[in-house]
Amino acid sequence: MRLNRFLAAAGLCSRRKAEELIRSGLVEVAGEKITQPYFDVPENAAVRVGGKAVLRQQLVYLALNKPSGYTCTLKDPFARKKVTQLLPASLGRLFPVGRLDRDSCGLVLLTNDGYFAEKVSHPRYQVEKEYQVTVVPPFRSQDARVFLEGIEDNGEKLVARHIEVLKQLPGKTVLKLVLTEGKKREIRRMFASQRYHVLTLKRVRIGRVSLGSLKPGQYRPLKNREIQAFMRERPKPKDKEPANR
């Protein structure tokens, strides 16, 4: 693990602050002063900052099926039920990656690794998030193009990467929707702008991680291949014209 990430993962400071500490000559690895933030820390090497030992933190990566009624915003003082309350205290302090509003359910990733969280949630990586959305009245097929071209709402452009009808039911429609950003209440705002009301909203996939058979409130550790798939992400240019695949 690179030294700047090591210090951030240990909860000492942010990665940016860690880089400042390293360049200032305050950090030692195995007794040697290191001034390069991207220095790879050997597995069992002792790390000190200003002469004080920094303990290596065990990194945790989880997939959880969030029930509706739980909030992902840990700083909300009015939230009665937070998603982290579904986890045992023995896992330590974790935080959710990205947004999933209180009334929605489905896949949430939780971790204590800020670098991993950035790889998953920052718009420049364009990680796909897939949702199943039930709306009323029945979805009009001609509106698909509006979602793909983008909708202006409160100074933001909301764009779907993919939209597909899964089921037409009496008086309502179940759709598959794929996004690559995570703006606040983005899906509900998109549908509201076209005079639809969202009955249910469930996230079923983030990148290569699927909700699978997890029941509401259940969680599982991410597989190493799932973690590494996010870690290998590189910034991508935005598509000029998304296609309805």
- Distance between CA 2 and CA 10 in Å, rounded? 12
> Distance between alpha carbon 243 and the CA centroid of its chain, in Å?
24
> Distance between alpha carbon 216 and the CA centroid of its chain, in Å?
18
- Distance between CA 29 and CA 45 in Å, rounded? 6
CA distance from start to end of the chain: 38
- Distance between CA 97 and CA 72 in Å, rounded? 9
239 is catalytic: no
Bridge partners, residue 210, by sequence? 205
> Residue 148: in which H helix or E strand, if any?
helix 144-149
101, 103, 143, 153: the active-site residue: 101
- Distance between CA 36 and CA 25 in Å, rounded? 9
Residue closest to 104 by CA, chosen among 182, 32, 10: 182
Catalytic residue set: 101
